[in-house]
């Protein structure tokens, strides 16, 4: 059950329509998970500073069980997420940063329990 959170200083009107759905489909493909299990949040118009600059930028947080736990996995994921983000947001790769956070099944609640027991 991946969680993908995009924070950007770009105003909402500069984001392509349907960005959350497109990011969901891309994350499902990149992480090898069904789109029905991917959760996406897009927050725009945030006051942000990246690398000491307030120029337009974005941060992506990708959290998941089992698919973001190694440098090798994340190197492959990073390249593909950067391709999507630079194309969709119109930002250079130097204005985007991605954080990967591995999760354990007991850290995700669903259907009144945690993933460990589902």
Active site residues: 2
Give the H or E element holding residue 113.
strand 113-114
Q: DSSP label at 16? A: P
Contact in structure between 42 and 36 (CB atoms under 8 Å): no
Q: List, edge to edge, every strand of the sheet that includes 3-8.
A: 39-43, 3-8, 58-65, 96-103
């Amino acid at each position: 059950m991946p969680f993908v959170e995009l924070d950007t200083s770009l105003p909402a009107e500069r984001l392509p329509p349907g960005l959350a759905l497109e990011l969901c489909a891309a994350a499902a493909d990149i992480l090898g998970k069904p789109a029905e299990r991917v959760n996406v949040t897009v927050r725009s118009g945030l006051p942000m500073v990246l690398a000491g600059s307030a120029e337009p930028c974005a941060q992506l947080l990708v959290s998941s069980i089992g698919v973001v736990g190694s440098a090798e996995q994340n190197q492959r994921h990073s390249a593909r997420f950067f391709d999507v983000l630079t194309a969709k947001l119109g930002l250079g790769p130097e204005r985007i940063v991605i954080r990967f956070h591995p999760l354990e099944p007991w850290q995700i609640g669903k259907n009144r329990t945690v993933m460990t027991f589902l």
